[in-house]
Chain A
């Protein structure tokens, strides 16, 4: 048993597990920003009074929500980068990181949009009517009245989306980003003697990242809930 433990500890000298998790965290951070911005925009389109924008928003959500993430990333790298020759950075590795962030953002924006829309549904219709009554047009009403209340109601589903995003960053391996799941493959290839421990370390790493996010969103959703 102590032999196994020595073998296991030597794994960390051999491979930089923390650096690999750091890549996942950076992917999560940038993709969260990207999907939040895009998702908010699409949510705005879906609740707007203009039918063509609503249609566009609905189309986006249905297209990206129903396409597997791997397919999106493989399409971006195999199709757009390889065949069309479009790069997102002059640095070779940064290019793939950017493609991965773009793919993750496009995919999760659909879920962010739906999370925000569910928040909009928690805002009573009277709020929108009152906004109209004092002379606010759609955009100011959305910005000043609807969204501030809607976001508070959407914290829990947004938190769920963030957790899903965190775990989905492992799919970035398909876009040639060296993150924890590709490091795990390397470790399994070279160190099959501690294969179970490798799985447990990666799983534990994600638990440590994700559990605080869950606790934080639960706390925030209680704290910020609009009391009606």
Chain B
């Protein structure tokens, strides 16, 4: 068994080399395009959701939704043409880290402004004020708001703000938590749950997809206020410029067009008392 030692060493070296190459490969993928903020000719990396129809949705090579439209407009105002935008998927749980680790330059992903998040990232906006609402089957008139949920079955996404909110609001509700809203809509359609809850504009987006047209309706009785902001890395100098772009988008009417176009067919109207919002001044 004399030869076993050098052989073992060789095997270890090979394994280590493999591990290192794996790491190197990952790094290359991440920093393929260095986005220096503001310069023309460079690209800008924008984080969006890929799985929320009506807000941020990837359909093959197309990106659609309200978040995407606002992002395109803001990027345009900052001097980036549409093909200079590099879309990056930003799931809810990864948003802070992606900004802190310089994986994206800005995030438009139903990103509610909260004090806890403000500690680790900067926010521009808000560009929309959503509110938690309920999605029910189109022929169901028994649920008019959270008060009617007592003892009913409800679906939301695991660990989401909406899931926690609704349990505080209606402790007697039966809550199913799933990985995404698509699963929730399946439950709603099969009749195992009576309502799906999250922000009204997300529900409207879900209800207005081709497959769901006419099957569901948004109740329209919001019970929270979610101010969607543009996530920026802490200490970013882009905040003022983004706010100006949002203000301009609202004044020009492009904002209104984007909301209407992305929620068509869901019989949805946004909360007009709170929308369109006025961006808050930057910097604490």
Is B177 within 8 A of A190, CB to CB? Answer: no
Could you tell me the distance in whole angstroms from the C-beta of A76 to the nearest C-beta in chain B?
A: 13
Main secondary structure of the interface of A (DSSP, over half): helix
Could you tell me the distance in whole angstroms from the C-beta of A176 to the nearest C-beta in chain B?
A: 5
| Across-interface contacts of A193 in B (CB, < 8 A) | 116-117, 119-120
Is A81 within 8 A of B192, CB to CB? Answer: yes
Query: Is B238's CB within 8 Å of the partner chain A?
Result: no
| Across-interface contacts of B93 in A (CB, < 8 A) | 185, 188-189
Is B120 within 8 A of A176, CB to CB? Answer: no
| Across-interface contacts of B213 in A (CB, < 8 A) | none
Is B186 within 8 A of A82, CB to CB? Answer: yes
Q: Among A78, A93, A184, A192, which residue has its beta carbon within 8 angstroms of that of B116?
A: A192
Query: Would A182 and B159 be within 8 Å (CB), given that A189-B92, A193-B116, A193-B120 are in contact?
Result: yes
Query: Would A195 and B92 be within 8 Å (CB), given that A82-B192, A189-B161 are in contact?
Result: no
Q: Among A78, A184, A188, which residue has its beta carbon within 8 angstroms of that of B183?
A: A78
Is B174 within 8 A of A93, CB to CB? Answer: yes
Query: Is A92's CB within 8 Å of the partner chain B?
Result: yes
Give how many B residues have a beta carbon under 8 Å from the other chain's beta carbons: 28
Query: Is B96's CB within 8 Å of the partner chain A?
Result: yes
- Taken together as a complex, chains A and B put the C-alpha atoms of A212 and B93 apart, in Å, by 31
Query: Is A174's CB within 8 Å of the partner chain B?
Result: yes
Is A182 within 8 A of B158, CB to CB? Answer: yes
- Taken together as a complex, chains A and B put the C-alpha atoms of A206 and B127 apart, in Å, by 41
| Across-interface contacts of A93 in B (CB, < 8 A) | 174
Is B164 within 8 A of A82, CB to CB? Answer: no
Query: Is A169's CB within 8 Å of the partner chain B?
Result: no
Query: Is A143's CB within 8 Å of the partner chain B?
Result: no
A182, closest chain B residue (CB): B158
Is A92 within 8 A of B153, CB to CB? Answer: yes
A187, closest chain B residue (CB): B159
Range of interface residues on A (Cβ < 8 Å): 20 to 34
Q: Which of B92, B96, B116, B191 has the most CB of A within 10 A?
A: B116
Is B161 within 8 A of A190, CB to CB? Answer: yes
Could you tell me which residues of chain B, from 84 to 116, have a CB within 8 Å of some CB in chain A? Answer: 92-93, 95-97, 114, 116
A189, closest chain B residue (CB): B159
- Taken together as a complex, chains A and B put the C-alpha atoms of A195 and B94 apart, in Å, by 10
- Taken together as a complex, chains A and B put the C-alpha atoms of A190 and B167 apart, in Å, by 15
Could you tell me which residues of chain A, from 81 to 100, have a CB within 8 Å of some CB in chain B? Answer: 81-83, 85, 92-93, 96
Is A178 within 8 A of B177, CB to CB? Answer: yes
| Across-interface contacts of A190 in B (CB, < 8 A) | 114, 116, 161, 164
A192, closest chain B residue (CB): B96
Could you tell me the distance in whole angstroms from the C-beta of A16 to the nearest C-beta in chain B?
A: 13
Q: Among A82, A182, A195, which residue has its beta carbon within 8 angstroms of that of B97?
A: A195
- Residue numbers of B with Cβ under 8 A of A are 92-93, 95-97, 114, 116-117, 119-120, 153, 158-161, 163-164, 174, 176-179, 183, 186-187, 190-192
Query: Can you name 9 A-B pairs with beta carbons within 8 Å?
Result: A78-B183, A85-B191, A92-B174, A93-B174, A174-B179, A176-B178, A178-B177, A192-B95, A195-B97
